Every structure is written in structure tokens, then in C-alpha cells.
Structure 1
Amino acid sequence: MYLVQRVLPLLRQIHMEQNYEIEMEARIQGVEEREIKVTRCESGGDERQYCDNCNTSIVDFHRSCQNPECFYDLCLTCCRELRDGCQPGGGEAESSHRNFVARAEGTDVKTERKAPKPKKSSGSESEVAFEAEVCETAESSEFPEWKANADGSIPCPPKERGGCGGAENDGNCAVVRQAAYRKGGHDNYVYCPDAVQLREDETEHFQTHWMKGEPVVVRNVLEKTSGLSWEPMVMWRAFRETGAVRKLKEETKSVKAIDCLDWCEVEINIHQFFAGYLEGRMHRNRWPEMLKLKDWPSSTAFEDRLPRHGAEFISALPYSDYTHPTNGLLNLATKLPESCLKPDLGPKTYIAYGFPEELGRGDSVTKLHCDMSDAKVHEAEDFRDFGVSETGTLGKSAEGKPPCRPEAEAEAMRAAPMVNPCADDSLQGNDTSDIGRGGAVWDIFRRQDVPKLTEYLHKHSKEFRHINNLPVGSVNHPIHDQTFYLNEQHKKQLKEEYNVEPWAFDQYLGEAVFIPAGCPHQVRNKQSCIKVAMDFVSPDNVQECIRLTEEFRLLPKGHRAKEDKLEVKKMALYAVSAAVRDAKSLFSKLN
């Protein structure tokens, strides 16, 4: 008992440190502590394990790089010091660096370094709960900077420090991304799992966020595909090879796109549109011309005209129980019988130009709106920085209104500053793709903030522009009209006046964004890119779909969102009927 009494304080300290890590991991992932699963790693009896940073022996819990070619281990003390803003490990870190150099030369300083092993789950906290200890802040001049991320997660250190230097948290298991800075908010982070590492039991974790109306971003979706190119010219050639060119000859010659400067519909040769995607276009005053091509080819024939692309997209869908258009067990849309007219849920393609900076006018945006169903939007193509060329067209209003008046266009051009934002040589040409930068900026608002958001838009409606680049006139519904886009200035003002802030984040190549039904959202393209969208109806959000249906009922006749094309109530009846039949069949087999 004397021994236990003396050692007990140490055991309590170890227990406190481990509980703290689990608590922080739960906070970062947005789940309860009991849901955190710590992976056990095998260790032989003749092996000792050390922290790769400070060379202190590892007793039990530690953090490990997920990169299978790295295996960098970090003790909990170094993790805490990193979050405190200190040099982790103090002087020991330098000797650890020398050990890394020795290992690179073939001499393993760690005693009998073991073979690759399963790594344990990683994560960290937002605020440090321990008292900060005195630690060294001065870094060796040979060491590059290494510090914890803003959300408290720990990245693998740079190669000069012995890690793999993986960017965007590649060196750890941080599966969240800070997307808001609401004071006291418990939902400032967006869950961002890796598609390659998703396990069968990950659906349950997804549901914990989904049922609360939180968006989810799945990374590296393209890693699960065959590598089929989604480059526009490749898609166009594939479209022609299917024989569609003979059936719809005129459609292959020209398409109707939307000019984001005046929101008018323009007719353009499809080859010219795709050339502009790669090389850029501009208006006569050298202002960037942002064109959007929506739903090409039409979703009703997507799989017929681009069968390989359609099959690859479906095969790569994360959380297929929710998203698969025919076999999704939790997708209510799959329960409609063959005899029923089914809603058009995609896949739909959105091909649009983009520009790195917010122009303030003529930005390539999808304006604020709210989908009746749940949605998944996937960045399928590598991004292109915007360049310019001398062309321009004029056509019919995208809202079905008369063609834009030439004088209205001239007025818009006079209103725009006579500058060329594309003059920077770094943005010219078609080889300036920078996939390291996000391709699109998303703003997704919480459902509970919709009343305040609506009030703000009504109050400031005259400050926004839409058709013909003129101020927004009448407002039926500030969200369902899809005539507003909140730029950075308006988002700041919304925060100041109503304390409302969206989840705001960049979408990168190969990422799939899941948007819960009822969450207003808007998107701005920072680079030319292709998005592929698929809608689905989940049981978690069916009540929200019904609420939106009731809102659409009250819109005036002829409104773009008036028609109940989804028929959620019918879906729900068929889905419950199918579930009851399946349950009866299962019970009969068990008996």
C-alpha cells in the first residue's frame, strides 16, 4: 500500500493527460467522448518506443502520423507544448533532429525500430486546459517553424524536423476544418473525413453531424476513382463519341450560358466556351467575363451521353447508403416505384469560370438559395486561374425576361471601374492551375439563423444588384428568389447587426460538400472549375424538406421555386411502406 500511495499521484497525472486528449479529440470532432475510438498499436516485448521529437519514451497514449511512409510519433507533452506556442521538447528536439538525419543515412538511433504499425486516432483541442509550463521558445536557426493549427490539431512536422511535412493536416488525423468564429459556438468546425480512410462504421459519425443540420466535407474523393479526366474538352469529345452529335446536332454547336455581370443568358459556341474556361474571356472594358454553364449535358441524359463519367461519379459517392441514386438504403428517393414519375435529382454538372479575388461585381457565383432536398456537390476538375481574351456576346435574360438592352449593358460597363484585374502575368495562360488554392468559396448558413438572415436581406435589399446589373426590385422571398449574394462587406455587416455568421470555407479539388436541406448557401468560384451535384432525401432531414415545401406553397404563381417537384410526402409514404415490408420479411426469416 505504501508503494501505491507514493505512485498514485503519477498515475493520476497520466490519467488526466489521457482524459484531456480524449476530451479535446471529442471537441474537435464534434462528438461525445464515448464515441472516440483510440486505435491500439502492437508493440513487441523487445521494443521501446520514443517520441520522435524529444526522444522521451512513450508510455501509452501518443499521436502518430497517418502517412504510411512516415511513422512520426509524438508524445502528449510535446503536443501540449506545441499548443502552448512553445518549442516542443526544448533542447531534446535538436538531438532528435540529429537522430532523424542518422536514420536517413541508414543508422536507426531508436532501439530496434519496429515495422509499420497501425496508427492511433489523432486530434487536439482549441484551448489549452493545462497550466502552461516554462518551455523554450527560441528555435534553432536550422529548424523551420512548426506549430499547432488554429483548431489545435497537430500537423506532422516539416521534413527538416524529421516529419513528412504533409500539408493540410496530412500528417495527422484531424478531421475538422474551422469554418466559423462564433463566440461560445460549439459548431464552428466542419467535419472533414478522408474518403480513402472512411470505414463502414463512419456512417454513424456522419449522422451525428448530419442530424444536427451541419455540413460535411469529404476529402480526396477522386482517390477512389479510375482517374478518368473531367477536363471540359475531354468531356466534350466523349459527348460527341456517344452519338449524341447526330441526335442533337444543334446542341453540340452552341450552348446557353449565364453572364454573371448582368445575369443575362448568352448563346455561345461550345468550343469557345470551353476555350474561355481554359484561357479566360473579358468584356470590352477589359473586365473579366464570368460565364456559367449549368446542367450540361442535361441531367436527364447525363448517364446516356457521358456513361463513363456518370458511372465513375456514382461509384465514388461517399456515404452511399445516403447518396446512391438507386441503391441508397437511407435515400428516400430510391423508394419510389418504377411506375412513379421520379424527380430530377442529378447528377448535374456546373461548369463555370472563376477569379481568385472578389471583384465586387460580375463575380462567378451561385447566389444565395436553399435546396429542398439534401445535396452533395463534388469538385471534379482541376482548377484554372483566370486569363483574358477579347470576345463578348449578348442574349436573352436567364430569368426568361427580354434580352438585355444595349444601353443597360453600356451602363453596366460605365459603372464598372476601367481597370484590368487580369493584368497580372501570373494569371495568364492555361498552365497556371493552382490546385493548392481552393477552387470555390462556400458560405452555408445555419437553419436557426434563417429568420435573422431574411430580415437583413429585406432591410438591405436595395443594395444588391441582379438582372441587367440593376438594383433588386421586388422581393418575394429573399432566399428562394435566388437574387442575393452576400459579399465580404455584407457578411461583415450581417455579423455586426445580427450576430449571424455562416460556415465559410474553401472547397479543394476532389472534395465533396454535403449541404443539409434547409441551410441557405452561396458559392463563389475562385478558379474555373467543374462541379457535379447529386441531390438525395435523407430521413434525418425529411421534416425540413416538408417545412420548405410549405414555404414554397406560399410563393406567388410563376415563381421559380413554386412547383413541388420533389413530392417528399409521397416519398416518405413509399419509404415507410418499403421499410415495413423489409422488416416483416426479416422477422419471418428469423422465425
Structure 2
Amino acid sequence: SFWENWSLGIEFTPSRKSVLTDPAKLKKLQQSGEAFVQDDSCVNIVAQLPKCRECRLDSLRKDKEQQKDSPVFCRFFHFRRLQFNKHGVLRVEGFLTPNKYDSEAIGLWLPLTKNVVGTDLDTAKYILANIGDHFCQMVISEKEAMSTIEPHRQVAWKRAVKGVREMCDVCDTTIFNLHWVCPRCGFGVCVDCYRMKRKNCQQGAAYKTFSWLRCVKSQIHEPENLMPTQIIPGKALYDVGDIVHSVRAKWGIKANCPCSNRQFKLFSKPASKEDVKQTSFAGEKPSLGAVFQQNPLVLEPVPVAGEAASKPASSMKPACPASTSPLNWLADLTSGNVNKENKEKQPTMPILKNEIKCLPPLPPLSKSSTVLHTFNSTILTPVSNNNSGFLRNLLNSSTGKTENGLKNTPKILDDIFASLVQNKTSSDLSKRPQGLTIKPSILGFDTPHYWLCDNRLLCLQDPNNKSNWNVFRECWKQGQPVMVSGVHHKLNTDLWKPESFRKEFGNQEVDLVNCRTNEIITGATVGDFWDGFEDVPNRLKNEKEPMVLKLKDWPPGEDFRDMMPSRFDDLMANIPLPEYTRRDGKLNLASRLPNYFVRPDLGPKMYNAYGLITPEDRKYGTTNLHLDVSDAANVMVYVGIPKGQCDQEEEVLKTIQDGDSDELTIKRFIEGKEKPGALWHIYAAKDTEKIREFLKKVSEEQGQENPADHDPIHDQSWYLDRSLRKRLHQEYGVQGWAIVQFLGDVVFIPAGAPHQVHNLYSCIKVAEDFVSPEHVKHCFWLTQEFRYLSQTHTNHEDKLQVKNVIYHAVKDAVAMLKASESSFGKP
């Protein structure tokens, strides 16, 4: 797929002929000695010039005919500057600098001066209210990283190339803006990898976390020889940062960003050796200093739906009184002495403007470990209105150090919560969480719904109801899964039957997975799988026993739309909550990424598997516990009840009961005429670290190792059966949602929420991923986590490019608000 092969240049072709192929232009360049930008691959230029690593690999191919027909992604294309010397010899003159942009390059990164297609005013305000703070954190991190560059170093500019996703050669994370590049071979590393390498070099330690590729003639890439490089031209990033603050102040959109609490003006443009052309809205150059003076920003929780424009900026709450001590508040929290008033409301961590930097170090609550304070640490601090976010802010900004001089690990926070759990009595732990509280005005009579999981799971009954998204958003922003039923009545059922897949694709070779052993079976066909889908005796056998199989990665990669266009259209026309789930949905932030960029692969993806019916099968999962970097909507399009098995209904009922399902779910199965397909267990994203610690603990009890570059959740190596779920609840206070997905049900899983699936019968499920404004913070955390997985891990590569998604979503939101100012009488 393109995602895996982008670095080999599969999609890259220069759009115009090189100036070197035009005799008149070539002669002029030779006579004038004027520098020009490399506009072709290294392989097509003079052989004596140093080639980038991609072109060098391509030139070593044995099949020269293949080389001519195969395009190459050149790392120096539209980046390196060339020049003919007085002897007519072509040489490298340098690289583009940030001020050498044109209107096309800068236009990609600045807001339009007119309404933006695919959004509206209310949506723009909601998006900015939810992700504006995360955008500010991105800019702060870029600013701080830029401030570490030595004054004598010239920053280069590598313009975005259409259809190419810039990635770190070390950790495979998408590069957003600032990074370091080798001027000889084009090797590039992100800020985090660069800092880790420098720190290890300074300490004389072996750099074991990630391996660095070597340069020409196997020379080692030394950090000091790499060139600081930015992707966003000029100072567009800081211009947009200014505009965000200006627009939020004018529209009364609350801000919880830390910009006003820094020791320097974070959005003031960094000094440059050259005059930089300022490009912004016509006739306008916003001044952030004026914005701060007129509308001082304070730490305020991100507003919920409907609150974005409900209050003017002047109504923002003042900071907490100086008499309140964050440490005293922290002690009160850990001892449970939070007053009732704060329990009824969302307690707010009292942060004082000048107190953070002078707080004494917190005493270590557990054995300390050294974790490098990375470039993304500011970004990864969740901006939320709960205790956890403010506690993590406090701990990350404290002056506590380990003996090696590094910041204490964020696990201090988890120890605090663990101590809270240990202080709970058994009676407290046995109490079920309270149901959600949703405003009656939002849950109107025109939104058919009911509640499952002891009033903790919202189930919408009409998939086409126009009011669904308002109700959905109330639960979604709290990190809750949601279910929508009845979609199968809208779909073209003939398209989703097993026989239709067998007829169209039966001869394709695929890999199958034995759900009981996780063994991969090669050499099978799609037809082999569908033949046994509803016929147990006709299934492939292992030692004369029919196997419980699932199709592995079928259709492969991004082929669903191409292989099954009619099914794709049917799904997209009927999937619930189109505002979120469609590729062009106004609340799907991925839709804001310009076509210039490589679009994230968000599906659809099919999940086809047999059911696990026997009592012994209850310890196995069709899909083991894992989590995803994006939100997802999983649609049950077909449930097949196979022939050839006895007492299926009774065994399925026992599995549902064993799976901790609530009484209403069991009643739905017993009394209804619906087909149950799969049993889900979904956990809140905030409980991920507790689940991870629990699984490591169980793993150690069983004598297994826990390698540093592996993860019990990301590895998908665990299925939580009844006994493990009970231990997780008793020992860590973690309870999830037990959901039975019937035919036509759509389960919405929040980004970062650990979940597992156990098929009750044979199922065909289709999932569509999306990026919602409410859960962007989890995308940040997971992108950083994935960096540390092994190079062969399926989740190692950053495919979502969340920073690019956020940048362009914010850019479009402020464009919409700016365009609406005149019509709404805004100053």
C-alpha cells in the first residue's frame, strides 16, 4: 500500500520538465551562475552531485530498464539549491530558506478569506473550542524547539510535496514542521529523536532506543551535522497562532491554553536573519500582544456543546485566590477530602500564574524511573476539565527530579490514583457507576433512545434521526461509547450476504487466523472461509475438529472502495451520525486535510469471523484487547447462525450472562427476535494505564517477560475473560461497558478506549474510522506511545498525522469565523 511504500517514491513524479532539459534556460544558468532550485530527481541530474538516499538506492538497481519506468521520491526535490560555477560545473549551493516561498506554498498553510466549503459557523466555533488549545500547545512546542537552535544555524525550508508524507527515518512518526535533515543524503529525524540522540551523545550512553541509518560511505549521522529544517513556510504557523487568539477573543470562545503563563511571548515571531515577507489576511496583521492586554486568557475548562459562544470573553473567570495551594488541594484529593460542592461540579485544579515554577518537588510515590522529557510532552498534556489533566500539568511542571536529573515519570499520577483505589472499601468498589446526566432539552421527544449498562450506555433507535448528533455529542465528549440500532433496515441486504462475497471473490487467496490458537493459515481462499461461515461440517479442520476462523486483513489495505464500490456507497449512504462518520463529515477533522496531503487510511475495513460458541471458547477473543488511535463506528451488517451445532441459543445466552451483560441486554436477547452477533467489552481511555499495569502484573505472575518495546494492549495479546475482568474491577476499580451488538447495531468506540470482541455467531462487521474534535487529545497520546513500539509492530507507524489534521481543521475554523465577522457585526 502507499502507506507502507511512500518512502520508496511509489506516488512521486515531478510535475514539470527540469530547467536542465531546456537548452535556452540551461545556457542562461551556466552564463549567469544564478542559483536555482533542484526540480528533478538526483538520478536525472549530473552524476557527480551527492544523491539523496532514495535516489542512491534507486541507482543501485540491477534492472536499469525497471529504473527508467519507476518514479523515485527524491528528498532534495524542490529543496536543494544548485549552481553552475565559473567553470560550468554544477555544484550544491545550499538549501531553500523559510522566506523563499511563493503564493502557492504559503496558501496551503494560511486561512482562506472566504467561507470554507463543508463547514458552518456553529461547527467552526465548536471545533475551535475543542481543539484550539491543542493547536496552541503545538505552536508552543514548535516555538520552544526553535529556541534551542544555535543563533548561527540557518534554518532550511523543505516545502511540502504533493502526495508525500514526510516521516521521521528513526521512529516513523509523521513530521509536522521542525525537524533535522542531513544535507548530504536527506536523512531526516523528528525533534524527539534528535533530542534523545544528543542527550545520549552528551552523556556518552549507547543510543539503544532507536537505531539511526548511516550516511554516505557508512558514515555515522552526528546530530551536530544535521540541518534544522521547517516545512511550514515563512512564519505562517505563528501568524495562524495569532489569528486563533484574536478570533477566540472576538467570538467569546473560552480558552484554556497555557500561552499566557509562559515566561516569554510564545507567539511572537522568532528572529530571522532575513526579512520575511508577512502574508496574512488582506490588510490585516493581528497583534497578539494587544489581544492579551484586552482579553487576558486564564486556565478554563474547554466549553461543552452549545457553550462556545454563549458568553463573551469578558465573562471569563479570574484565577483562583492566592491562598489556595495546589499541594494542599492535591493532598485533599488523595485523602478524599474534596467537598461535596466540588463533587457535584467538576473540580478545578487551582493553578496560580507564578506558583508552578516555584513549587517544591513532590515526594516520590513509587520507585522512580527515568523517562526523557520529549518534544511532545507539552502537547501530550491533556487539556481537560477534570482533576487528572490538571494534576498531570502540575506534575509535569514541577521541579522534582530523579537522581539523574530527569523529570519524574508521569506514573506518579497513576500512583496517586492507585492509592485512591486502595483506600476504597469493598462496598464502594461494588457500587456501579452512576448513569450519565444529559440536559432534558437535548434529549427531546423526537430522539428515540433507551439506556443499557445500568444507564451508562446511550442507545439511539432511529439511525436517520436528524437530532441524533446533538444527543450523541453529549455522551461522546465524556468519553462514552454509544450504540445506534436498526441500520440493517436501511442497507441493501443482498450486498452483505456471504453468498455474494463467495460468488464475487471466492477464488482470491487469503490468510486465515485460527481464533483459538492465533495460528495463521496460509494458502486458503476466500471461498474456503465463506463455505464454512454458516455450515460447521464444511469448515476447514485441525486434527478433525472444525476451526473457528477469521479472515485476516481482507480486503487488504485501502482496497475496500475499489474492490466493493457498491457496498462502499451503500454503507456511506446509511451510516449513522454522518456529521462524524462520513469522509466529508463536518465534525470529522480528517475531512479538513487538504487533498495536497496523503489522506489518512480511515477505512472502511471489514471484520469477518465465525462465532465462539462453546463454554471453552469463552476464554478466547475474536479480537483481543487493543485500542485505536482514531474514533470508530463498527456496523454489524450480517449475522449468520450456522447449522450443525446443537444448543447454540442456550450457549450464547450463557456467554452473554458470563460476559457481565446487564438485565436489559439479556431481556433483549430472550424476548426479542433480533440476532445477537458479538459481545464487546469497552473501557474508558482514562483507565488505559491501569489496565496496562494490571496486565503486566498478571503477565509477571505467569512468568512472562515484558520487553520495553512491546505493550500488552498494543500487542493484542490478551483477552479479558470473566476472572480477569473481575480482578481488574476489584484490584484497580476499573469497570467497562459490556455490550452485545445485534444485527444492525453500530457501536461507536472513542479513540484510545481499550476494547475487545467475542463473536457469538458468525459475523460480518464493517468499521469506519474518523477523527472527532472531542478526542483529539487521545490521538496525541497514542501517536507518542506508538513511537516506542518495535519497528515491526503494526501500530509503530504514525498513519493519522494528527498534527497536520489539527492544524488544517483550526485553519479552516478561523477562516470561517473571520469570513462571518462582517455579517454578524463583529469588530
Which residue, out of 494, 516, 526, partners 1:261?
A: 516
Shift of 1:570: 0.6
Match of 1:301 in 2: 559
- Give the match's secondary structure for 1:378: strand
Contact 2:528 2:540 in 1 (8 A): no
Equivalent runs, 1:160-309 vs 2, <5 Å:
173-178=448-453, 189-196=456-463, 198-239=464-505, 252-267=507-522, 268-280=524-536, 281=539, 283-285=541-543, 287-309=545-567
Shift of 1:437: 4.3
Shift of 1:264: 2.0
Structure 1 runs (4+) greater than 6 angstroms displaced: 425-428
Shift of 1:362: 7.8
Question: Are 1:443 and 2:678 an aligned pair?
Answer: no
Equivalents in 2 of 1:315, 1:199: separation in Å? 14
Equivalents in 2 of 1:569, 1:435: separation in Å? 46
Which residue, out of 596, 601, 605, partners 1:348?
A: 605
Equivalents in 2 of 1:228, 1:582: separation in Å? 42
Match of 1:323 in 2: 581
Percent identical pairs in the alignment equals 35
- Give the match's secondary structure for 1:278: coil
Shift of 1:351: 0.7
What do the CA deviations read for 1:234-291 (whole angstroms, capped 9, x no partner)?
1343458xxxxxxxxxxx3321111122212112122121111121236445555111
Contact 1:191 1:209 in 2 (8 A): yes
Shift of 1:372: 0.3
Against the structure 1 CA distance between its residues 497 and 360, is the aligned structure 2 distance closer, same or farther, given a 3 Å change threshold? farther
Tell me which moved more, 270-279 or 359-368.
359-368
Contact 1:355 1:385 in 2 (8 A): no
Which residue, out of 762, 771, 779, partners 1:537?
A: 771
Against the structure 1 CA distance between its residues 584 and 575, is the aligned structure 2 distance closer, same or farther, given a 3 Å change threshold? same
Against the structure 1 CA distance between its residues 482 and 344, is the aligned structure 2 distance closer, same or farther, given a 3 Å change threshold? same
- Give the match's secondary structure for 1:322: helix
- Give the match's secondary structure for 2:591: helix
Match of 1:487 in 2: 721
- Give the match's secondary structure for 1:582: helix
What do the CA deviations read for 1:102-149 (whole angstroms, capped 9, x no partner)?
xxxxxxxxxxxxxxxxxxx8xxxxxxxxxxxxxxxxxxxxxxxxxxxx
Contact 1:438 1:506 in 2 (8 A): yes
What do the CA deviations read for 1:475-529 (whole angstroms, capped 9, x no partner)?
7211111111111221122223223221001000011000001110000001001
Shift of 1:586: 3.7
Match of 1:100 in 2: none
Against the structure 1 CA distance between its residues 270 and 37, is the aligned structure 2 distance closer, same or farther, given a 3 Å change threshold? closer
Equivalents in 2 of 1:342, 1:333: separation in Å? 8
Shift of 1:358: 4.5
Equivalents in 2 of 1:284, 1:472: separation in Å? 30
Contact 2:581 2:770 in 1 (8 A): yes
Tell me which moved more, 548-557 or 438-447.
548-557
What do the CA deviations read for 1:390-441 (whole angstroms, capped 9, x no partner)?
xxxxxxxxxxxxxxxxxxxxxxxxxxxxxxxx5659899xxxxx97342100
Task: Give the structure-1-normalised TM-score.
Answer: 0.57
Q: Which runs of 5+ in 2 are unaligned?
A: 1-433, 652-671
Against the structure 1 CA distance between its residues 528 and 360, is the aligned structure 2 distance closer, same or farther, given a 3 Å change threshold? closer
Which residue, out of 743, 754, 763, partners 1:509?
A: 743
Contact 2:678 2:759 in 1 (8 A): yes
Which residue, out of 632, 636, 639, partners 1:382?
A: 639
Contact 1:290 1:362 in 2 (8 A): no
Q: CA RMSD in A?
A: 2.9
Which residue, out of 689, 692, 695, partners 1:454?
A: 692
Equivalents in 2 of 1:32, 1:424: separation in Å? 45
Tell me which moved more, 581-590 or 268-277.
581-590
Equivalents in 1 of 2:808, 2:782: separation in Å? 20
Against the structure 1 CA distance between its residues 357 and 585, is the aligned structure 2 distance closer, same or farther, given a 3 Å change threshold? farther
Shift of 1:551: 1.5
What do the CA deviations read for 1:355-387 (whole angstroms, capped 9, x no partner)?
334524783510110100001100011332364
What do the CA deviations read for 1:543-572 (whole angstroms, capped 9, x no partner)?
111111122223333332211111101111
Equivalents in 2 of 1:29, 1:293: separation in Å? 37
Equivalent runs, 1:407-446 vs 2, <5 Å:
422=645, 436-446=674-684
What do the CA deviations read for 1:3-40 (whole angstroms, capped 9, x no partner)?
xxxxxxxxxxxxxxxxxxxxxxxx8664134544357x
Against the structure 1 CA distance between its residues 227 and 362, is the aligned structure 2 distance closer, same or farther, given a 3 Å change threshold? same
Equivalents in 2 of 1:292, 1:523: separation in Å? 12
- Give the match's secondary structure for 1:460: helix
Against the structure 1 CA distance between its residues 361 and 29, is the aligned structure 2 distance closer, same or farther, given a 3 Å change threshold? closer
Match of 2:787 in 1: 553
Against the structure 1 CA distance between its residues 36 and 352, is the aligned structure 2 distance closer, same or farther, given a 3 Å change threshold? closer
Equivalents in 1 of 2:701, 2:613: separation in Å? 24
- Give the match's secondary structure for 1:192: strand
What do the CA deviations read for 1:436-478 (whole angstroms, capped 9, x no partner)?
342100000112322221121011126789xxxxx78757211
Paired AA for residue 206 in structure 1 = F
Aligned residues: 368
Paired AA for residue 449 in structure 1 = D
Against the structure 1 CA distance between its residues 360 and 498, is the aligned structure 2 distance closer, same or farther, given a 3 Å change threshold? farther
Paired AA for residue 225 in structure 1 = L
Shift of 1:207: 0.7
Equivalents in 1 of 2:746, 2:737: separation in Å? 15
Equivalents in 2 of 1:284, 1:303: separation in Å? 34
Task: Give the structure-2-normalised TM-score.
Answer: 0.42
Paired AA for residue 447 in structure 1 = A
Against the structure 1 CA distance between its residues 284 and 571, is the aligned structure 2 distance closer, same or farther, given a 3 Å change threshold? closer
- Give the match's secondary structure for 1:382: strand
Against the structure 1 CA distance between its residues 559 and 299, is the aligned structure 2 distance closer, same or farther, given a 3 Å change threshold? closer
Against the structure 1 CA distance between its residues 386 and 427, is the aligned structure 2 distance closer, same or farther, given a 3 Å change threshold? farther
Match of 1:21 in 2: none
Shift of 1:299: 4.7
- Give the match's secondary structure for 2:495: coil
Paired AA for residue 799 in structure 2 = K
Match of 1:31 in 2: 438
- Give the match's secondary structure for 1:533: strand
Equivalents in 2 of 1:384, 1:256: separation in Å? 23
Contact 2:449 2:458 in 1 (8 A): no
Match of 1:105 in 2: none
